[in-house]
Amino acid sequence: MDFELTEEQKLVQQMVRDFANNEIIPQGKALEDQHEFPKELLKKIAKLGILGMTVPTEFGGTQTDELSFILALEEIGRALSSFSVIISVHCSLFCYAINTFGTLSQKDTYLPLAASGQTLGAFSLTEPDAGSDATQLKTRAKRDGDVYVLNGTKSWITNGREADALILFAKTEKDEKKKFSAFIVDKNTPGLHVTRIEEKLGLHASPTAEISLEDCRIPTENLLGKEGQGTAIAFQCLDHSRIGIAAQSVGLAQRALDEAVKYAKNREAFGTTLSGLQAIQFMISDIATQTEAARLLTHKAALLFNKGKPFAKESSMAKLFASEAANKIAYLALQIHGGYGYSREYIVEQLFRDARAFSIYEGTSEIQRLVISRYLLKE
């Protein structure tokens, strides 16, 4: 085992860390408070090549190894969770899906624009009545000559309002009971409407949308893969993106640790600083240990992906542990801040709210435990 990062990975990490410290953190709280989508930050980070990290160079990307991408997400997540999930969905789901399963024409059409930041992508699987059980999709895609006609409702779509294109899943007439198909749907397609923006506990700078599809006609060449292959596409993409969710969790945990240490060293109580109190020392020790454990699980999953080895079990392990650790860590960091932690004056209040989503989206903790147990029992 070698825990040392390569020089290239260190350069990526430092570049994104500098951007996070200089550009994201100074604006983060205002973006969250105003529920403002970070449009200008996306333009700036696109110039660094971050939006093309999962896109091959032949399609205009800056494709790196998976660990470099994960390091970038950690640093972005440390600065602003909302921004990290926007980028994670774009890179880990939208670009990854088209690069892995798309035709040459689909790659030529979408990947160069996505890599440069001219196109923002989304991933639309969940429906009002189909969440953890994704096989219960009600959205339908009916073949009509050289087009598919889509009808249905999709919910909880990250980037749904701002995205220029979506990977969208629906059932065709040929699909078997538990199978569905995948499509690339342009946002400006007639019949596609954003019908609602969710009022969420956290992640306020990342709007989450509901869309309706009413006789939405898309060309047959926008079918991603084959009919019925969408189930496998969705699950493989989610296996990959869960490493990104784990990385976001690690980033938030690291920020919580940084804030807890800073506050404990400056706040005085009982004739000493909080850092001189054993109870606080124990909390900080627990935060640091859980953060590092989550980081190692996340990096292991990324390295397995790099080597082309099976990684789905490990990505679920990383997502499960890191997301639940982030919730515990945010709680402890807020506790260390005492009453001030409950105030919006300090960032730990925002971290506490944001962390709650990590153990829910892209597969709840309960789903991760099912995935992990199935692999173990199969082995």
Cβ-contact 212, 153 below 8 angstroms: yes
Does 362 qualify as catalytic in the annotation? yes
Structure tokens at 37: 């989508």
Q: How many CA atoms lie within 13 A of 360 on its CB side?
A: 13
Partners of 127 in the β-ladder: 130
Reference 73, options 62, 61, 83, 63; nearest CA is 83
Pairing of β 165-172 and β 140-144: parallel
Encoded tokens for 261: 């240490």
Question: What sign for the dihedral angle of Cα 356, 358, 363, 364?
Answer: negative
Rounded to whole angstroms, the Cα distance separating 153 from 138 reads 8
Which candidate in 75, 314, 324, 362 is catalytic? 362
CA dist 374 and 372 (Å) reads 5
The residue whose two tokens read 């399963």 is 101
Closest CA to 247 of 311, 322, 309: 322
Give the burial class of 285: count Cβ atoms within 10 A of its Cβ; 0-12 exposed, 13-18 middle, 19 or more buried: exposed
Q: How many CB atoms lie within 10 A of CB 286?
A: 14
Sequence letter at residue 156: W
**Residues involved in catalysis:** 362
